[in-house]
Amino acid sequence: MAKHPAVDFDQLLKNQAADFSTVQILDEAGKVVNPDILPDLSDAELVDLMSQMVWSRVLDQRATALNRQGRLGFWAPTSGEEASQLASNFAMKKSDWILPGYRDIPELIQHGLSVAKAFLWSRGHVVGNEYPEDFHALPPQIIIGAQYVQTAGVALGLKKNGADEVAYTYTGDGGTSQGDFYEGVNFAGAFKAPAIFVVQNNGYAISVPRAKQTAAETLAQKAVAMGIPGIQVDGMDALAVYEVMKEAREFVAAGNGPVLIETLTYRYGPHTLSGDDPTRYRSKETDDLWQQRDPLIRMRNYLTDKGLWNQEQEDALIEKTKGEIKAAISEADQAPKQTVSRFLGDTYEQAPQNVTEQLAQYQAKESN
């Protein structure tokens, strides 16, 4: 009698991603393809969301130019990710805690950080990391994935304090290969901490394609191992991203534990402005394909059809944003120069004797 295998491994692999279809509301032309889940946003809110996305595109363009001029330090391009970033942030409350990665400056500014302070952070200036106590955010994390562990801790603290607040964070597809990703999500899941973990899948971890990062068909399905919900959403569709994030916040705030969201998006520029050349690992055909999926085109067409948006309105917003950025970089230029004594003073709460002596020496030099 022929022996039947106890496990059909091929079928198991097929089933793993079966429930992770992509949530979409607007197609590439900006037409509604899923009206049943259309978000309940007023006309004013729709215009506000579009305005934030246009603002973010201009911010990225101007920041890139400022970097090339030597007036700005580290910058990770964001063009193409406006829906993934700004629409997800739009669904959150100012009282919620955002723990951004280094590419998430637009969300951090819209959450309440001044553009000038964001520019100082880019320059590595200590003032760029000074936040008022009522601003619920941490400075952008440079260590890839570390913000996931931090988010689990902040979320658990919110739960223990009984706060009606949620912690949310972002990383890229490459970040899901880090141990901190699994540790943070698993910890939050085990303690049902109110956290939302967003994975912005832009296809490449610097130059490494997502397919070489993991054997999983989707990044959303990684949530299964942690026992929490995982959702995949069209990250170029602002309405879909907003609706998924809004519902995730409601679920998390109700005490049901964390949620993992994968947004399928694309960064049009390089990984950072520190020497990365995307033409070495991305084809023109791929770039052209994603340009057709531009989140601004979708929202622009959708709002234009509703009579809520026009080119004159957008041009005026672009000029206004350029002026605000010009003022912000001028403000950043006025920040006091950093000193060694400041660094030493910030490093120790109770400095050892040798550092105390060095501190005194530097303070004397800097006062002359």
Residues annotated as catalytic (active site), given as ranges: 267, 271, 281
Q: Is the dihedral of CA 78, 106, 212, 17 positive or negative?
A: negative
Pairing state between β 259-264 and 230-234: parallel
DSSP 178: S
CA 217 to chain centre: 22
Q: Which two tokens stand for residue 255?
A: 């005490």
Residue 169 CB partners (closer than 8 Å, separation 6+): 98, 99, 100, 101, 147, 148, 150, 151, 195, 196, 197, 198
Alpha-carbon span 201 to 198, nearest angstrom? 9
CB 147 within 8 A of CB 188: no
Alpha-carbon span 12 to 88, nearest angstrom? 32
Alpha-carbon span 200 to 267, nearest angstrom? 10
CA dihedral angle for residue 308, residue 311, residue 317, residue 319, rounded to 10 degrees = -170
